[in-house]
A and B are shown apart, each in its own frame.
Chain A
Amino acid sequence: MKTNSYKIDWNVIDKYMPELLKGLSITLEISAVGMALALIFGLMMAVGRLSTNKFVSRISNAAVQLCRSIPLFVLLFWVYYGLSLKFNILLTEFQAGALALGITGGAYMAEVFRGGLLAVSVGQTEAGLAIGLNKGQVFRGVVLPQALRVVIPPTVNVYVGLLKGATIVSVIGVSDMIYVAQYVSLDTFTPFELYTVAGLIFVCLTLSISGFAYLLERRLGRSRAHG
């Protein structure tokens, strides 16, 4: 049998761990920048969708639907190669990867934010307006802080999604952890060990992020009860 000829050799991990961790730090960085962009895009699109202005809400809605339905893989190619070919906009691999993650994540975050904003009762807005705050002050001081609490668990989900999505950026040559596993295994012929360890690192990472989110949620939970 062919599979028997593959000898599992974990020693390769010891040797290449520093490389893998360097790749991991790139993965973390690109997903963090992507998430930051996703938060900004997402909030903008969510506020846009909830706008009373029909034009604004329709445009935002269309943007969300579009960004959500483009596969990240395709989006990466458009952002990295498309922008440079058609518009002469040159982005580094990292920038293009982060931007593509931000666009995809933004579409998901738009839905998350919209849900969070809608979860805050109209009475809160009315009370804010009644004391003479303007709409912006009501949004920033009253509605948004309450929406953010509701939004934490699904936001963590989106981030975990982005973190895993960040493994695809290797296709445009970002040297993330998967990319490292790939090129090291070309030399060592040990893809099984390298991908397994990379996968385990992802599992640990995801679990600790979820744990952190749980603690955060509990800490903020004290003021979450109905007012």
Chain B
Amino acid sequence: MNDNTSTTSTGSTFFLQLKDVSKSFGTHKVLDGITLDVAEGEVVAIIGPSGSGKSTLLRCINFIAAPDTGAVIFEGHTWKTFHSKINFLANKRYQKKLTTLRSDIGMVFQNFNVFPHMTAAQNVMLGLTKVRKMSKAEARKAAESALSQVGLSDKFDQYPEKLSGGQKQRVAIARALALKPKVMLFDEATSSLDPELVSGILEEIRRLAGTGMTMVIVTHEMNFAFQVAHRIVFMDQGKIVEIGTPEQIRNPIEARTKAFLSAILN
């Protein structure tokens, strides 16, 4: 399943790579030996039934969920889960290093997860001041520009309570983009939205794809996935069943992929 990498759209060096990543919750194996390469500028969409491990896979990329085994290789640097039972200082050093990885990888969540005690601008500024060490004034400027880009130029000082689901998700996208990440992860970014707000967020993601941003997208919006992604990954029961270009996946080799798609698309 890994020899499909020849179909990547740009470049030949792997920008982001998951190597034999596994993770269990209790006795349930959520990810079972996942290996996946993503090239720079590539858009990869992950599809599959609920509980297939798509979201966990995404979370393992920035170690929001720590893989039990396996590694993430990003820009030539190998990241593995580290935890010492006795050496707290080593744990702390490792956690600090992880923040550099995470700040280069933006993530957008299904439930938005905007900070409710902060205005839209403050949501975006938090990472800029604390992680990118900008001054308040610089951060405010950058936050305003990021929010304007997602169409929220009139909402800088609104609290999330006063925003619609779509606007909250835009704040979350601006919060991630303001840090100038090299990869964006979208975890079912439209699944909690009212139907009429879905297309706006999808448009936002499409626009981002147009800028050459490397993206890994977990989605239930099949049509969107097939339009925007360079490659589609079909997952089931913690394993990658099939990887290919949208054309290839439209005519899948694996029976399970076929069954899933025909159930979804009809």
On A, residues with C-beta under 8 Å from B are: 121, 123-124, 126-135, 137, 141-142, 145-146, 149, 222-227
Contacts and interface: CB of A to CB of B under 8 A. Distances in A.
Given A137-B130, A141-B126, A131 B175 contact: yes
Interface in B63-119: 64, 95-96, 99-100, 102-107, 109, 111-118
Nearest to B101: A132
B195 to A, nearest CB: 20
B116 A130 contact: no
Contact of A227 (B62, B95, B112): B112
B253 to A, nearest CB: 35
B102 A132 contact: yes
10 contacts: A123-B109, A126-B109, A127-B114, A131-B103, A131-B131, A132-B127, A133-B131, A146-B116, A224-B161, A227-B114
B176 A149 contact: no
B183 to A, nearest CB: 12
Nearest to A52: B83
Given A123-B111, A127-B172, A133 B116 contact: no
A121 to B, nearest CB: 8
Nearest to B128: A131
A227 B175 contact: no
Contacts of A126: 59, 64, 107, 109, 113
Nearest to A54: B85
A28 to B, nearest CB: 30
Given A130-B64, A131-B103, A223 B159 contact: yes
Nearest to B108: A130
Contacts of B95: 134-135
Given A127-B109, A133-B127, A222 B159 contact: yes
A130 B106 CA distance: 7
Contact of B102 (A130, A145, A146, A225): A130
A12 to B, nearest CB: 51
Contacts, number: 89
Given A123-B111, A131-B126, A223 B161 contact: yes
B168 interface: yes
A149 B127 contact: no
Nearest to A225: B161
Nearest to A149: B117
B185 to A, nearest CB: 8
Contact of B160 (A131, A149, A225): A225
Given A223-B159, A223-B161, A134 B115 contact: no
Contacts of B115: 124, 127-128, 142, 146, 227
Interface string B124-139: 0011001100000000
Contacts of B175: 131
A124 B112 CA distance: 9
Nearest 10 A/B pairs, CB to CB:
A132-B103, A227-B116, A127-B113, A131-B127, A225-B161, A130-B107, A132-B131, A123-B113, A132-B102, A227-B114
A54 B103 CA distance: 30
B62 A130 contact: yes
B179 interface: yes
A129 B64 contact: yes
Contacts of A227: 112-116, 160, 168
A123 to B, nearest CB: 4
A131 B171 CA distance: 13
B76 to A, nearest CB: 19
Contacts of B111: 121, 123
Contacts of B127: 131-133
Nearest to B178: A131
